[in-house]
Structure 1
Amino acid sequence: MKKIINSSKAPAPIGPYNHSVMVGDLLFISGQIPFNQQTETLVTTGIQDETKQVMQNLEYIIKEAGLTFEHVVKATIFIRNMDDFALINEIYGSYFSPETAPARECVQVEKLPRNVNIEISMILHK
C-alpha cells in the first residue's frame, strides 16, 4: 500500500503528481525545481542558489516523511548545462557525508519544467 506525503513548505505540484510516495520502507520523491514556495518565485540568481533551493525543497519533503538526507539511497540530477556540474556538486555534496552518500546520476537535458536549470529527484530507505 502506498502513502502520499506532501509538504506545505515545498512548491505545490504543477501536475497530476504528489511530492512523494512511501511504499513499504521506500520513499520516492518527485523531481524538485528551484521554486521558493514562501516567496512564490523561481530562484534564478545562479546555479548555486538554484541548487540550494532545490535541496531545501527536498529537505522539506524528507522531513515531512520523518527522514533525513542520511536515508537517501539514490538521487537523479537533471541539468541544462554540464558546465555547471562542479558548482552543483559542491552544493549537493554539502548535504551528505562522503562515507554514506547515495548512488547518483547526473544527466544533461535540453529543457526542464518552467525552463529551470536543475531538477533533482530522490529515493530514500526508511
Structure 2
Amino acid sequence: MTTYTNDPTLPTPSFPGSHMVIDDRYVFISGLTVSDLSNGEAARGDVKEETHLVMRAIARMLEMENGSVADILRVDIHLTNLKTIHDLDSVYAEFFEPGRYPARTCTESPNICGGCHVEITVMATRQLPKEQ
C-alpha cells in the first residue's frame, strides 16, 4: 500500500506534493531546501549550513519511518553553484559510513525555490517495524 504523507514538524508544502511517499519497499522524500524547513522565511545560509540542516531533516524523516540515512539508496542534489560542491561534500559525507555512500546525481540549478543554495531529494529502502 502506498501512503502520501507530510512531516508534521514541517510546514505544509506550498506545492502540490507530499514530503514523503512510502510504499512497501521504499521511502521517497521530495526535494528539501531550508526554505521548506522554515516555511520560506529564514534559515538560509551558506552551502554547508543549508546541507547540514536539510540532511538532519532527512535523517529525522527516515527515523519517523523506522529507518536511517544508512537506508538511503539514491540522492539527487541541486546546487545553485556547482563550484560549491566541495563545501557540500564536506558536510554530506559526515552523514554516511565511509565507503557506503548512496548513488548520487549533483547538478547546477541556478534558481532553487526560496532562494536557497541546496536542494536534496532522497530514495531509501523502507525498514519495516520489527515484530514483537
Amino acid in the other structure paired with 1:58: I
Shift of 1:38: 6.7
Separation (CA, whole Å) in 2 of partners of 1:37 and 1:74: 21
Shift of 1:10: 3.1
Q: Is residue 13 of structure 1 aligned with residue 13 of structure 2?
A: yes
- The equivalent of 2:91 in structure 1 is 91
1:124 counterpart SS class? strand
Gaps of 5+ in 2: 127-132
1:12 counterpart SS class? coil
2:101 counterpart SS class? coil
Runs of 4+ in 1 over 6 A off after TM superposition: none
Q: Is residue 69 of structure 1 aligned with residue 82 of structure 2?
A: no
Gaps of 5+ in 1: none
Contact 1:5 1:61 in 2 (8 A): no
C-alpha RMSD over aligned residues: 1.9
- The equivalent of 1:109 in structure 2 is 109
Contact 1:79 1:117 in 2 (8 A): yes
Shift of 1:109: 1.0
2:8 counterpart SS class? coil
1:42 counterpart SS class? coil
Contact 1:80 1:118 in 2 (8 A): yes
The worse-fitting range, judged by mean Cα deviation, of 81-90 and 42-51 is 42-51
C-alpha deviations, 1:13-45, integer Å up to 9, x for none? 111111111122111110000137479733223
Contact 1:5 1:65 in 2 (8 A): no
Decide which structure has greater strand share: 1
The worse-fitting range, judged by mean Cα deviation, of 58-67 and 35-44 is 35-44
C-alpha deviations, 1:60-93, integer Å up to 9, x for none? 2111111100000000000000111000011111
Q: Percent identity?
A: 21
The worse-fitting range, judged by mean Cα deviation, of 72-81 and 59-68 is 59-68
- The alignment covers a number of residue pairs equal to 126
Contact 2:11 2:39 in 1 (8 A): no
The worse-fitting range, judged by mean Cα deviation, of 86-95 and 55-64 is 55-64
The worse-fitting range, judged by mean Cα deviation, of 71-80 and 54-63 is 54-63
Q: Structure 1's 85 and 37: CA in aligned 2 closer, same or farther, altered over 3 A?
A: closer
Amino acid in the other structure paired with 2:65: A
